[in-house]
Amino acid sequence: MEATKLKMITEELSRYAGMVTEESVREMAEAVKSAKRIFLAGAGRSGLAARGFTNRLLHMGFDVHFVGEISCPPIGEGDLIILGSGSGTTQSLVVMGEKAKRVGAKIATVTMFPTHMIGEMSDVIVTVPGSTPKKAEGEKNLAESVQPMGNLFEQMSWLVYDSIIMALMEDLGQTAEEMMARHTNLE
């Protein structure tokens, strides 16, 4: 019997989950805890995963902002910006990282390519497996996927962000009930 498409995807996620180190997840959690404010950015579907992480950090009570929203304040010293970029070369995110560095903020990234431009400027890196058609010529993907385009990276990013939330909940002794109390009531 042929595996369902959903089973193929979940098996792929399970197979590659071990490539994400617990040490990098913990390091990202520490960076979040020590930041004055947290900013997140990502383009396309990577940006959607970063938006989900922004929402959960808000539920935990952090002062958190998604870059590009009208309510986003200026970044400054003591802040942290987390850039989600599979390729590690997304030009708009490179510019944000350079700006953050100039004003004394720390940079973290979730990426497939830690040696690319965004990774090179980052203080904290979570390397996530995936495959992308955006890799440089001759460069190898960290994983081969049955899925199209950057799906594996984007899904793994979402799960990595959720892992960081679980680490923060444990570190800070927060419960889901406490988080729910900070959930919007304007739905």
Give catalytic residue positions: 154
By CB atoms closer than 10 A (0-12, 13-18, 19+), residue 102 is exposed
Q: Which residue has the tokens 């002062």?
A: 63
- The Cα–Cα gap between 120 and 70 comes to 29
- The Cα–Cα gap between 180 and 187 comes to 14
Residue 24, φ and ψ in degrees, nearest 5: -70, -35
- The Cα–Cα gap between 67 and 41 comes to 5
Q: Residue 111 in 3-state DSSP? A: strand
